[in-house]
A and B are shown apart, each in its own frame.
Chain A
Amino acid sequence: MDQFRFFCLGGGNEVGRSSHIIQFKGKTVMLDAGVHPAFQGMASLPFYDEFDLGTVDVLLISHFHLDHAASLPYVMQKTNFKGRVFMTHPTKAIYRWLLNDFVRVTAIDDDSNQLYSDKDLKDSFDRIETIDFHSTIEIDGIRFTAYQAGHVLGAAMFFIEIAGIKVLFTGDFSREEDRHLSVAEVPPVRPDVLITESTFGTATHEPREEKEKKLTTMIHSTLANGGRVLMPVFALGRAQELLLILDEYWSQHQDLENIKVYYASDLARKCLAVYQTYINMMNENIRKKFRDTNKNPFQFQYIKNIKNLSKFDDFQPSVVVASPGMLQNGVSRALLEKWAPDPRNTLIMTGYSVEGTMAKEILLEPTEIPSQQNPDVLIPRRMTVEEISFAAHVDYEQNSKFIELVNPKTIVLVHGESNPMGRLKSALLSKYSKYKNTPDEVKVYNPRNCEDLLVEFKGIKIAK
Chain B
Amino acid sequence: MSSTIFYRFRSQKDLSRVQFDGTGITVFDLKREIILQNKLNSNLDFVLTLLHSDTNEPYDDDNTVIPRSSSVIARRSPPMKKGRGTAGRYLVGKPRINRTAPSGPTTGAPAPTNLTGLSEEERIQSMFNQQSQNWQQHQEELSTHTPVHYSKA
**Interfacial chain B residues near A49, Cβ < 8 Å:** 9-11, 74-77
Interface size on B, residues (CB 8 A): 23
Is there contact, CB below 8 Å, between A112 and B39?
Answer: yes
Question: How many Å from the CB of B126 to the closest CB on chain A?
Answer: 45
Considering residues B43, B75, B82, which has the most beta carbons from chain A within 10 angstroms of its beta carbon? B43
Whether a CB of chain A sits under 8 angstroms from the CB of B151 is yes
Interface of B, helix, strand, loop or mixed by DSSP: loop
Q: Is B121 an interface position by the 8 A CB rule?
A: no
Q: Which residues of B are found within 8 Å of A450, using beta-carbon distances?
A: 77-78
Stretch among A37-45, A290-298, A314-322 lining the B interface: A37-45
Contact (A41, B39) CB under 8 Å given A49-B10, A78-B12, A79-B11: yes
- B76: which of A13, A47, A78, A110 is its contact (CB, 8 Å)? A47
How many whole Å from B22's CB to the nearest CB in chain A? 25
A39 lies within 8 A of B77 (CB): no
Whether, in the assembled complex, B41 has its beta carbon less than 8 Å from a beta carbon of chain A, the answer is yes
- Residues of chain A lying within 8 A (CB to CB) of residue B14: 78
The reply to whether B77 and A41 form a contact with Cβ atoms under 8 Å apart is no
Please classify how large the interface on chain A is, using the bins under 10, 10 to 19, 20 to 34, 35 or more: 20 to 34
- Given A48-B11, A79-B12, A449-B78: A43 in contact with B151 (beta carbons within 8 A): no
CB <8 Å contact, A78 and B13: yes
Asked if A345 lies at the interface with its beta carbon under 8 angstroms from chain B, I say no
Please, how many angstroms separate the alpha-carbon atoms of A49 and B44 in the complex? 16
**Residue numbers in A under 8 Å from B152 (CB-CB):** 39-40
Q: Is there contact, CB below 8 Å, between A41 and B40?
A: yes
Q: How far is the CB of B18 from chain A (nearest CB, A)?
A: 14
Cα–Cα distance between A373 and B60 once the two chains are bound (Å): 40
Within 8 A of B (CB), among A26-53: 36, 38-44, 47-51, 53
Compute how far the CA of A51 lies from the CA of B13 in the bound complex, rounded to whole angstroms. Answer: 14
User: A110 to B10, alpha carbons, bound, how many Å?
Assistant: 24
Q: A43-B41, A43-B42, A47-B76 are in contact. Are A113 and B153 (CB under 8 A)?
A: yes
Interfacial chain A residues near B41, Cβ < 8 Å: 43
A418 touches B77 (CB 8 A): no
B40 touches A42 (CB 8 A): yes
Q: A41-B42, A41-B153, A450-B78 are in contact. List 11 more A-B contacts (CB 8 A).
A: A13-B82, A40-B152, A42-B39, A43-B40, A50-B75, A50-B77, A50-B78, A78-B12, A79-B11, A80-B13, A113-B153
- Can you offer 14 A-B residue contacts whose CB atoms are under 8 A? A40-B39, A40-B152, A42-B39, A43-B39, A43-B41, A47-B76, A47-B78, A49-B75, A49-B76, A51-B11, A79-B11, A113-B39, A113-B153, A450-B77
Residues in chain B within 8 A of chain A (CB atoms): 9-14, 38-44, 46, 74-78, 82, 151-153
List residues of A whose CB falls within 8 A of some B CB.
13-14, 36, 38-44, 47-51, 53, 78-80, 110, 112-113, 356, 375, 418, 448-450
